Structure 1
């Protein structure tokens, strides 16, 4: 937004030969921010990179350009630092290292479910067929919905090993808050029939629990044990199993 203290520094981007800095008057949310950038872009290919990413590959742009043939979207992937010194950021780091950081060979086994936009190149023509849902103003799963629509349109998706490094690993407490935002979003999308439950693993589990009449008990479990789980997840040795239980039981506790 225009009130950010960083704007005076970011204005320097406008002095670069091919740079342009845009400050919106209001916060329209991540999805509409991306749509705005796509509208303002002058050329046929759009490269989306999250602001907290670090580019470590010397041939980063060349790698993307060499992968453009016969595809609509190219995803380069993401990696997390090999180690992290802060115990208060351990959950986000561990989840990133053990769950999110996948080489292209693994991502190509399910090209749509593995598609994210923290580091992705897409042809503008393909992007305009979908765009990000502007109703998703809070953090979470805007990429999932885009990828789902890409699967319906059968866009050609290619995964390559051209990762950015996640440079700003969230505090565990912040990551848990963002996780809740994302779960609220994905459940809302499911309830509105905007996404198939089979496309999102946690919604598939939620759907099965509902059919087995276990959703309400799982929600009660969250109500009873969420404090204990939170303590584990914000510790220096968080359990990803506990994190999975925390997520699905929180989802089941939502009255939507």
Structure 2
């Protein structure tokens, strides 16, 4: 059983007081556990979040670090690893919620080098029916059951909620060359797999309850696809979209899809940013946008 644990929360423009309080209460109730909770704000642009989160310093064994320069999703996780002290690290995104009273206990009995707890999607259709991120995440939930995640191992690694041995995190840092949103966790999962470490998926989720606007979600989606385009040689076998592009390339259809993006991309995007978004249309937009990023004469 794990007896020493560092809980590491990267935050950016979000409140994390409730999550920290829930994690602290669970840890404090386990007498055999020595723990610390370190929250690092990655230079949030909205200062109200920084000010509100300072109240977490009232808890024992909790540190709150305010970064002056944005390190990015990879950099902030590596920074948190360097700030931690204990042999097991539990990473949780700061904008998530906890509704499982046995969340910490379930992790403490873990044996693998990396353990992924998963995520559930909160909210109701009445509240979020016009939100593209919520619709997309709800549609994808069936692909992220513990059975499905365990079947695909490292290809289903997600950095929102995972436990890792400190020696693994130090030997396999997140790739800081990726400065914008997207695929840093996929690359981490691939690198760890190549190093021969073990992974386990368990049913120990955190909950996502807040969802960005349709326009912001599309902006982040486009950023992630740019990362995928730049890293496509490294991510072969780790992306279904790359597989589809390979097929289009072999069938000489890639130029056609690229032209479709130039003809219809802006209209599809406008529809997705509206109040009646559609997940099927989102998947079409992602394919067309990604096709537009790649030169048909290049290898894919």
TM-score, length-normalised on structure 2? Answer: 0.78
From 88, 100, 103, the equivalent of 2:145 is 103
Residue 186 (1) aligns with residue 228 (2): yes
From 285, 288, 300, the equivalent of 1:246 is 285
Match of 1:23 in 2: 66
Q: How many residues align?
A: 250
What is the CA distance between 1:245 and its match in structure 2? Answer: 1.4
Residues of 2 paired with 1:198 and 1:255: CA distance?
18
Could you tell me whether the CA contact under 8 Å between 2:272 and 2:282 is conserved in 1?
A: yes
Could you tell me whether the CA contact under 8 Å between 2:130 and 2:276 is conserved in 1?
A: no
Residues of 2 paired with 1:49 and 1:8: CA distance?
20
DSSP-derived class of the 1:17 partner: coil
> Unpaired runs of 5+ in structure 2?
1-42, 296-300
Match of 2:250 in 1: 211
What is the CA distance between 1:143 and its match in structure 2? Answer: 0.7
DSSP-derived class of the 1:187 partner: helix
Deviations 1:135-185 (A, max 9, x none): 111111111111111221232111111111112112222111110000001
* Comparing 178-187 and 240-249, the one that deviates more: 240-249
Would you identify which runs of 4 or more consecutive aligned residues in structure 1 move more than 4 Å? none
From 220, 226, 230, the equivalent of 2:259 is 220
Match of 1:83 in 2: 124
Could you tell me whether the CA contact under 8 Å between 2:90 and 2:161 is conserved in 1?
A: yes
Could you tell me whether the CA contact under 8 Å between 2:97 and 2:209 is conserved in 1?
A: yes
* Comparing 179-188 and 128-137, the one that deviates more: 128-137
More strand by share: 2
CA RMSD of aligned residues (A): 1.9
DSSP-derived class of the 1:122 partner: strand
TM-score, length-normalised on structure 1? Answer: 0.90
DSSP-derived class of the 1:197 partner: coil
Q: 1:169 to 1:182 in 2, by over 3 A?
A: same
Match of 1:171 in 2: 213
Match of 1:48 in 2: 91
Match of 2:105 in 1: 62
Could you tell me whether the CA contact under 8 Å between 1:87 and 1:235 is conserved in 2?
A: no
Could you tell me whether the CA contact under 8 Å between 1:88 and 1:234 is conserved in 2?
A: no
